[in-house]
C-alpha cells in the first residue's frame, strides 16, 4: 500500500470508525491494477515472442532493406503467416494467457 492509503486508513481508524471497508476497497483496487498489468505483460510477452520468431525466420536479404533493424521494421505477422503452428514454442516459450 502507498503511504497515502495507510494515512487514510489511520484517519478512518482515528475517527473511531473501523477502516475495514476502506481497506477492502483499497485492496480490491490494487488487485484490479495488478490484473490489468498482468494482462498488459501477457500482451507484451506475446509480441516479444512474435518478434523473436520473426527474427528466427529472417532471410539474409531482409537485412539489405532495413534502415535500422529488419526485425523491427517488418511486422511479424507478415512473416509468421507462413510458419507452421507451434513454431514460437520451439524456443521453449509458452503462449500467454
Tens of pLDDT, residues 27-42: 999 999 999 999 999 9
Residue 54 burial class via C-beta count within 10 angstroms: exposed 0-12, middle 13-18, buried 19 and up: buried
Note whether residue 41 is domain-resident: yes
Note whether residue 43 is domain-resident: yes
Does position 93 have pLDDT exceeding 60, yes or no?
Answer: no
Distance CA 94, CA 97 (A): 9
Note whether residue 97 is domain-resident: no
Task: State how many domains the chain has.
Answer: 1
With a pLDDT cut of 70, the percent of the chain lying above it is: 67
66 φ/ψ angles, rounded to the nearest 5 degrees:
-80, 140
- Identify whether the C-beta of residue 88 lies closer than 8 Å to the C-beta of residue 49: yes
Note whether residue 84 is domain-resident: yes
pLDDT 10s digits, 55-77: 888 765 656 666 778 777 766 66
- Identify whether the C-beta of residue 77 lies closer than 8 Å to the C-beta of residue 61: no
Domain that holds residue 17: 3-90
Note whether residue 95 is domain-resident: no
Note whether residue 49 is domain-resident: yes
Note whether residue 96 is domain-resident: no
Amino acid at each position: 500500500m502507498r503511504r497515502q492509503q495507510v494515512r487514510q486508513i489511520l484517519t478512518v481508524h482515528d475517527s473511531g470508525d473501523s477502516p475495514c471497508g476502506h481497506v477492502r476497497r483499497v485492496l480490491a483496487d490494487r488487485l484490479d491494477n495488478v490484473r490489468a498489468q498482468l494482462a498488459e505483460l501477457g500482451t507484451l510477452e506475446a509480441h516479444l515472442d512474435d518478434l523473436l520468431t520473426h527474427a528466427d525466420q529472417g532471410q539474409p536479404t531482409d537485412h539489405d532493406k532495413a534502415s535500422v533493424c529488419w526485425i523491427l521494421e517488418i511486422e511479424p505477422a507478415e512473416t509468421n503467416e507462413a510458419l507452421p503452428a507451434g513454431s514460437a514454442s520451439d524456443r521453449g516459450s509458452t503462449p500467454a494467457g
